Structure 1
Amino acid sequence: MNLDTTQLLAIAAAMGWASGLRLYAVLFLTGLAGMLGWVELPRGLVLLQNPWMLGASGFMFAAEFFADKIPVVDTIWDAVHTFVRIPAGAALAASVFGADQATWAGAAALLGGSLAASSHVAKATTRAAVNTSPEPFSNIGMSLLGDAAVPAMLGLAFTHPFIALTVLGFVTLASLIAIVVLFRFLRARLRRWRRRGRAPQPTDAAPPSQVVG
C-alpha cells in the first residue's frame, strides 16, 4: 500500500498531536504496529520498528503510564516534558514525509509542533486543575482517557485520514478553549490560596493581661 499525501498529512498531524499527550506511547505503539505488519510506516518512521528502539520506547512508555496516574507526579512529569514533547512532535511529523519532500516535511514539522504544543498545554492545565481535588479517581480517569485517545487517533489516521483530520480540528479547537478556561480557574485558585496565606492565623494563647498598679 502506497500512502498518498492526505494519508501522510493525517499521520503527521496525529503523531504531532498525540506526542503532546503521550510521546513514548506514540513511539512504541507506532513502531510495534509497523513491526507486526498492522500498518505500513513511511520510510522516515521505519526506525521505530528497530528492536532496540522498541525496547527503549517501551520502557519509557511503561514509566510514563504509571507516573501519569499519580497526582503531583504527573504535573512534574508534564513540566519536564514540555521541553521534550513539542520538539519531538515536530520531528516525528517531519519524518513522516522524509528528506525527499523537504517542503512538505517543513510544513509537517510546523503542524506537528503546533499540535503537540496545544495538546500538551491542554493536558498539563487539565491535570493541574484536576489535582486541586483531594480524591485520586478523577486524576486516574483523565489519565486513562489520554491512554485511549492516543492509539485511537493514530489508528484513525492510518485507516481514515479525512476523518482523523476533521476530528483533530475539533479537538484542537476544544483544547484551545479548555486552556483559556482552565488557566483562569487555576489563576483564581492561586489567588485564593495566597489570600489564605496572608490571612491572620488564630492562636490559642490568650492576650497578656495588663497589671494595674
Structure 2
Amino acid sequence: MFAALTGLGLSTAAGLNAYIPLMVVGLLAHFTDAVKLPAQYGWLSEGWVLAIVAVLLTAEFVLDKVPVVDHVNDIIQTAVRPAAGGVVFSATTAAAQLDHSTWMAEHPAVAWMLGIVVALVVHLVKAGARPVVNATTVGVGAPIVSTVEDASSLGMSLIAVFLPVLVIVAIAVLALVGWRLVRRVRRYRRSRRERAGTAPAGQPGESTW
C-alpha cells in the first residue's frame, strides 16, 4: 500500500513538473537512505544525470512562466511528464520498506502504466487550464500559477517519500482544484461560443466557479 501511495504521489508531481520528482528522488537516493533505488534505476542518482535534470528543471522553471511560451512547452511536455511519472512510480521503493511489500517491484509494467496515466491526467488538466489563465489575466497569471504548480510538485514529492499516508489527502486537494479549473475552462469556452453566436446563451447569474 505505501509503495503504491509513494508512486502515486510522485507521478502526480510529475504531471505538474516532470523534473522536480526526478530531482527529489535522485538527490535523496544519492545523499541519503530515504530512497533506495532498484539496481536498474541506480542511474537516477548518478551525478551526471542529476546535472542534466537540473539544467532541464531550470529551463522548465523559466519557460513555464512566460505566456504563450508556456503553451508550447506544455505541448512538448505531453510526452515528457507521463514518461517521468512512469519512471518515478516504478523506480521508488522507499515506502515499500515500511510495509515490506515487493508486489510493485515484481510487476514493473503495472507501475509504469499507473505512473504514465496519473501523470498524463494531471498534465492534461494543467495544459488545458493554462491558456484560459493567460487569456483571462492578460498573461499576468502565468508566472503566479506556474510557481504554485512548482511548489505543489515539490510538496507532493516530499510528502510521497516521507509521509505517503498523506498522499490521498494531497491528491484530493489537487483534484478539487483541478475540477474547478476544468469547470472554468469549459465555461470560458462556452462563453466564447456564445459571443460568437454559435451556442445558446447560458443561464443568467451563473458563477464562473
TM-score range relative to shorter protein = 0.7 to 0.9
For residue 30 of structure 2, the aligned residue among 27, 31, 35 is 35
The amino acid across from 1:80 in the alignment is: I
- 1:77 aligns to what? 73
- 1:207 aligns to what? none
For the structure 1 residues 56 and 99, does the alpha-carbon distance in structure 2 shift closer, same or farther, using more than 3 Å as the test? farther
In 2: Cα distance, 1:121 partner to 1:171 partner:
17
After the TM superposition, which parts of structure 1 deviate over 3 Å for at least 4 consecutive aligned residues?
97-100, 134-137, 192-195
In 2: Cα distance, 1:94 partner to 1:26 partner:
13
For residue 121 of structure 2, the aligned residue among 113, 118, 121 is 118
Q: Secondary structure at the match of 1:131?
A: helix
Percent identical across equivalent pairs?
24
Report the alpha carbon displacement of residue 142 of structure 1 after superposing the two structures with TM. Answer: 0.6
For residue 101 of structure 1, the aligned residue among 75, 91, 105 is 105
In 2: Cα distance, 1:176 partner to 1:68 partner:
18
- 1:199 aligns to what? none
Structure number with greater CO (CA < 8 Å, separation at least 6) is 2
Contact 2:63 2:70 in 1 (8 A): yes
In 2: Cα distance, 1:100 partner to 1:18 partner:
19
Q: CA RMSD in A?
A: 2.7
For residue 177 of structure 1, the aligned residue among 176, 179, 192 is 179
1:148 maps onto 2:148 in alignment: no
TM-score (norm 1): 0.76
In 2: Cα distance, 1:49 partner to 1:99 partner:
23
In 2: Cα distance, 1:192 partner to 1:76 partner:
27
- 1:91 aligns to what? 87
The amino acid across from 2:60 in the alignment is: E
Q: Secondary structure at the match of 2:92?
A: helix
Count of residue pairs the alignment pairs up: 189
TM-score (norm 2): 0.77
- 1:67 aligns to what? 63
Report the alpha carbon displacement of residue 53 of structure 1 after superposing the two structures with TM. Answer: 0.3
1:53 maps onto 2:49 in alignment: yes
The amino acid across from 1:25 in the alignment is: I
Contact 1:12 1:112 in 2 (8 A): yes
Gaps spanning 5+ residues in structure 2: where?
Answer: 94-101, 198-209
Q: Secondary structure at the match of 2:18?
A: helix
Q: Secondary structure at the match of 2:135?
A: coil
Matches within 5 A, 1:118-137: 118-137=121-140
Contact 2:35 2:92 in 1 (8 A): no
Whichever of the two has the greater Rg, that structure is 1
Contact 2:22 2:44 in 1 (8 A): yes
